[in-house]
Amino acid sequence: MGPEGVKGIPFTKMSGSGNDFILMDGMDGSLSWIDSLWVKGVCQRALSVGADGVIILEGDETYDFAWRFFNSDGSIAEMCGNGGRCAARFAYERGIAGASMTFSTLAGPIHAEVYGKRVKVQLTRPRLFDEGMPLETGGHEYTLFYIDTGVPHVVLEVDDIKTFPLVEVGRKIRYHETFSPAGTNVNIVQVLDEHTLAVRTYERGVEDETLACGTGSVASALMASMKRGMASPVFIRTASEETLAVSWEGGTGDWNPVYFEGEVRFIYEGRLLPEALPGIAEKIL
């Protein structure tokens, strides 16, 4: 019980390779009122729970469940690879779905397999827009690999991933008129060996670098497949130092299906109380 007897709203904090999310069970329809304003408030670090996004599982007539996915700024995203892995393990552990499941997203149905802490998701078929897009911004010209892996991503290969000013350059590319009005996510990649990439990502909706990005990892691996001839699987070293695996069937440029696999962790469970969201506390009474 919270102050004045308020029970609050149950939630679970989960991490997919450094991407952290607030997950909530809304299968009974009781959380349909949650909106962008509420999400933006609860995702503020230091002031509330803090997270890269909020995931709400809801009932679906066709699939095991449907999800609503919000970025930390309250915007709605079509898909999130690490979020999808967290949602799958959450659904399995809560008895919402079996170890093999399919759930509905704005990007289309997503199939997932849960193997203990590891989760493998099959993403929607990628759409390649441009394998060598020239773009000038901030007095520099970049050559970008532009693809949709559920959400739009550009990929830029760099010589030194640690020193490259990702946030500065990523923000300029993300908001460039070429990608308006929705914008794009921005990934930088350094080849470590014939099977491994280091990847850092500036995420649209978070508006900053995140410790990992699932759809960005897939975009980076497919760039390496086309530009470097890397064969499936490709291993991704994220900023969180965890390693993810991207695999696919089909030839270069016709990657289908595409799989993304890695470990998912439960961090903690709790209840959101009114003081977690000053100013809109009535939403959790």
The domain that contains 58 carries what CATH number?
A: 3.10.310.10
pLDDT in tens, 196-232: 999 999 999 999 999 999 999 999 999 999 999 999 9
State the pLDDT at residue 280. Answer: 56
User: What domain range is 91 assigned to?
Assistant: 3-124+266-284
Residue 90 domain-assigned (yes or no): yes
Cα angle for residues 270, 32, 269 (degrees, 5° grid):
10
Q: Are residues 103 and 135 in the same domain?
A: no
Residue 232 domain-assigned (yes or no): yes
DSSP state letter for 44: -
Q: Are residues 118 and 32 in the same domain?
A: yes
Q: Are residues 161 and 88 in the same domain?
A: no
* Mean pLDDT along residues 250-260: 90
Residue 261 domain-assigned (yes or no): no
Residue 81 domain-assigned (yes or no): yes
Residue 40 domain-assigned (yes or no): yes
Q: Are residues 84 and 145 in the same domain?
A: no
How far CA 267 is from CA of 12, 80, 158, 208, 214, in Å, comes to 8, 19, 33, 22, 19
State the pLDDT at residue 2. Answer: 42
Q: Is 213 a catalytic residue?
A: yes
- Count of beta carbons in the 10 Å neighbourhood of residue 284: 20
pTM for the structure as a whole: 0.88
Q: Is 80 a catalytic residue?
A: yes
Q: Are residues 187 and 143 in the same domain?
A: yes
Options 213, 234, 244, 276, the catalytic residue: 213
Options 80, 96, 110, 173, the catalytic residue: 80
Q: Are residues 236 and 168 in the same domain?
A: yes
> H/E element holding 40?
helix 36-42
Residue 189 domain-assigned (yes or no): yes
* Mean pLDDT along residues 152-174: 96
Answer with the residue of higher pLDDT: 58 or 46.
Answer: 58
Tokens of 36: 């962008």
CA torsion through residues 66, 71, 77, 79, sign? negative
* Mean pLDDT along residues 28-55: 93
Q: Which residues contact 277 (CB under 8 A, 6 or more apart)?
A: 38, 41, 42, 48, 283, 284
State the pLDDT at residue 273. Answer: 86
State the pLDDT at residue 138. Answer: 84
Residue 31 has pLDDT above 90, yes or no: yes
Q: Are residues 97 and 187 in the same domain?
A: no
> H/E element holding 137?
strand 127-137
CA-CA distance, 37 to 55, in Å (whole number)? 14
* Mean pLDDT along residues 5-30: 91
Q: Are residues 178 and 241 in the same domain?
A: yes
Residue 132 domain-assigned (yes or no): yes
Do the strands 100-105 and 65-71 form a parallel or antiparallel pair, or are they unpaired? parallel
Do the strands 118-123 and 127-137 form a parallel or antiparallel pair, or are they unpaired? unpaired
The number of folded domains in the chain is 2
Residue 269 has pLDDT above 90, yes or no: yes
Q: Are residues 133 and 250 in the same domain?
A: yes
Residue 154 domain-assigned (yes or no): yes
Q: Are residues 64 and 81 in the same domain?
A: yes
Average pLDDT of the residues of the chain: 92
How much of the chain exceeds pLDDT 70, in percent? 95
State the pLDDT at residue 119. Answer: 97
Q: Are residues 150 and 215 in the same domain?
A: yes
Residue 128 has pLDDT above 80, yes or no: yes
pLDDT in tens, 59-78: 999 999 999 999 999 999 88
Q: Which residues contact 278 (CB under 8 A, 6 or more apart)?
A: none
Q: Are residues 99 and 141 in the same domain?
A: no
Task: Report yes or no: 112 and 102 within 8 Å, Cβ to Cβ.
Answer: yes
